[in-house]
Structure 1
C-alpha cells in the first residue's frame, strides 16, 4: 500500500509520534492546541506504519484580523495546520486537490494559509495553483507568510484558476476511456456499480494532473479545451445504458511520439501522471507507430453519471462519428454538464 490521504480525528493520533516533533518545536502552544482539537476532523497522510502528513481545514466567517493587513469579510477556509514529509509532487497535488474540494463543498469564497519562509517548496506549490502573497502573521513563534486564493475572482492561467474552468472560445471534446483504466486514472469518478475495492481510498489517491496515452490523434485538442471523460461500456449490458460521462478535464498540452527524444524522455514525462507502469510504457513506445499524449487537469467529477442514451436523447449528441475522440457542441456539452449535477460555480463561462 502506498501513502493514503484519509479523514480521521485528532484523538486518534498520538502527539508522541515523531511526526509532530517539528510542529511542537515551531509552535510552543501546539500540544495544548492539539488537545483542544480532540473531537475535530483532520486529514492525515500515512501508509500502514508511518504518518507523513496532516492537513487541518477550518472555516472562518467574517474578516480575519490576526493577519496584516486583515483579510476582508468573507467565508474563508483556513488551512490551519499543514505538514507534508517528502518531496513527492503527486502528494502535494493530492493535498491541494483536497483543499479545493473541501473549500467548494463548504461554500468558501476564499482560502488562506500561513507558512514560514523556510518552507519554500510548500510556498511554491501553493503559488502554482493561484495562491498569492497577501501579508504576514506575527506571533511569539515568529513571522509567517500569509497566502490567499480567491474562489470568486479567477485568473486567466489554467493552473492558477484551478479547479475553475472557462471555455469561452475553446473547443469541447468527448474522450473515451476503457473501464479497466478509468478508475485508476480518475478515482473520484468511481461509478456506483463498480466494486469499492478497486480504489482503496476513493478520491484521496487523486492528483490534479492526468496524462492520457493512446493511438488517437490527440493533437486535435488544444490548450484550454474542455474534455468530457466518457467511460466506455463494461460489456455487462447495452452500451446505451452502460457507457457513461463521468467528469470534466482541461487540456494543458498534447504531444505526438516524435516530440519525445527517447523512450527515457517519454517515461520521464508520462510515469508521474499516467495509469501505466514503466514496462507498459516502454512497450507502447517500442510498438506503437502512432502514439499521442494529452496532459490534462482533472477539474471535476460528476455527482450523477450520464449514460450514452441520455447524451443522445437529451443532449442531442449524434451517434456518428465514433465515440473515441469526438467534438461536442457547446449546447450538448452544457446540457451534459448540467445533468451531471456539479457545483455550478466551477464552470465560469
Structure 2
C-alpha cells in the first residue's frame, strides 16, 4: 500500500485515456497533444488514483520566465508560477485545500514573482477558494470556447493571514502547543516523522484542510489572539524518553479562539469546531454535551519545519531559555527570540517570514 493517496508522477506514467480528462479535452483544444508533449519532456504532476486505478485528482504546476503574452493584459517580465491544471472529482473535495497548500508553498519557497490560474467564471467553488488565499482577478485569457478569468497572486504582503498564507509575520504572541502522537500526524501529515513508517495519509479533512480546529482545556489558551504564532510540539511516543522523542514540528497562525459556552447552540459549535478537526462528529457531539474542553482553537497550518527539533536540542542548544527545563510543555507563551531561534534551528526558508527584523 502507498503511504499517501496523492503522488507526484511523470506524465508518461499517467493514463491519458482516463475519463477524468474528458472535460479538459472538451474545453481545451489540443489537450492530448499538450499532454503528450509534457510526457516527452519528462514533466510531472500530482495525481490521486482510486482503488480501481482511476484518476480522482490532478495538479500540474509550470514555471514560466519573461512576459506572459497569452493573458490580457500581459503579465509583466518576471518569474511566474502557472497552475496549469487543477481538477478534482467532487468526492475528494478536501484535496482542493491540499492542492492550495502545495501551490502556495511552492510559490513562496521557490521565490516566484507571482502565481496565476485561469478558469471559467461559472466554475463552482474554486474561484472563492483562490480569492480567500489572496488571488485577485487580473484579466482574461481567450480559449477556444470562450474567455477565462485570470486570477493572480503576487508576492506583496497583504497582512491577512489567509491572503498571505503560508507566509507569516513576526507580530503578535508566540506560543507552543503540545499534541499527542495519536493526533499529531493525522492533523499535520506534512510534519510526519521519519520513524512513522506505518502512517498512511488518507483524503480526510483533518489531514488536508489548511484550516485546523482543536479542542483543549489547557491553561493559558484563552489568551491566544488572531495572528498569534503557534509552534506544534509532538509529545513523546509511548515508552520513549521525551528528551529525544518529543519534537517541535510545525508553524501555525491563530485565526480565532472561542470558549465552548460562546456558541448559541450545537449547530453553531459544530460549524466552527468541525472544520479540519481531528475529532469525529460523534466525539464533537459528546464534547458539546459534556463541555469537557472549554476552548476551541482555529488556526492555519502554515508549514512544517525542515528540521524537527527535539526537546533535548530545544533545551541544550540555546533555542529556549534555560529555565524552560522545568516548564510545563502542554502550552506556554514564548519570547520573540525563542520563536526566531526555532525558525533558525528548524531551517525555515526566509521567504516564508514577512518581516525578518
TM over 0.5: yes
Per-residue CA distance 1:23-57 (angstroms, 9 max, x = gap): 11111211211222223211123332342221111
Whole-angstrom CA distance in 2 between matches of 1:290 and 1:25: 51
Q: Structure 1: 5+ residue runs without aligned partners? A: none
1:98 to 77, 97, 102: 102
Whole-angstrom CA distance in 2 between matches of 1:98 and 1:91: 10
Corresponding residue for 1:36? 37
SS across alignment from 1:154: coil
Whole-angstrom CA distance in 2 between matches of 1:316 and 1:269: 33
1:155 Cα deviation (Å)? 0.7
Whole-angstrom CA distance in 1 between matches of 2:38 and 2:309: 41
For the 8 Å contact 1:3–1:46, the answer to whether it is kept is: no
Corresponding residue for 1:335? 341
Per-residue CA distance 1:259-318 (angstroms, 9 max, x = gap): 223334333333331111122222322334442110000001011111122222312332
1:157 equivalent to 2:163? Answer no
Corresponding residue for 1:326? 332
Q: Structure 2: 5+ residue runs without aligned partners? A: none
For the 8 Å contact 2:5–2:203, the answer to whether it is kept is: no
Map 1:90-129 onto structure 2 (within 5 A): 90-129=94-133
1:228 Cα deviation (Å)? 0.8
1:86 equivalent to 2:90? Answer yes
CA change 1:201–1:274 in 2 (3 A) is: closer
1:52 equivalent to 2:56? Answer yes
Whole-angstrom CA distance in 1 between matches of 2:57 and 2:237: 37
Per-residue CA distance 1:70-119 (angstroms, 9 max, x = gap): 11122111111222222765222111011123333443222111111221
How many residues of Structure 1 are paired with residues of Structure 2 in the alignment? 346
For the 8 Å contact 1:167–1:224, the answer to whether it is kept is: no
CA change 1:299–1:111 in 2 (3 A) is: same
2:298 to 295, 299, 324: 295
Whole-angstrom CA distance in 2 between matches of 1:160 and 1:281: 29
Two-structure CA RMSD over aligned residues (Å): 2.4
Corresponding residue for 2:227? 224
Whole-angstrom CA distance in 1 between matches of 2:319 and 2:124: 47
Whole-angstrom CA distance in 2 between matches of 1:31 and 1:343: 37
SS across alignment from 2:69: coil
TM-score (normalizing by structure 2): 0.90
2:246 to 243, 246, 249: 243
Map 1:170-319 onto structure 2 (within 5 A): 170-195=172-197, 197-200=198-201, 205-217=207-219, 218-313=221-316, 314-317=318-321, 318-319=324-325
Whole-angstrom CA distance in 1 between matches of 2:288 and 2:312: 36
SS across alignment from 2:36: helix
1:201 Cα deviation (Å)? 6.7
Choose 186-195 or 247-256, whichever is displaced more.
Answer: 186-195
Corresponding residue for 2:19? 18
Choose 180-189 or 76-85, whichever is displaced more.
Answer: 76-85
For the 8 Å contact 2:233–2:248, the answer to whether it is kept is: yes
For the 8 Å contact 1:285–1:291, the answer to whether it is kept is: no
1:237 Cα deviation (Å)? 3.2
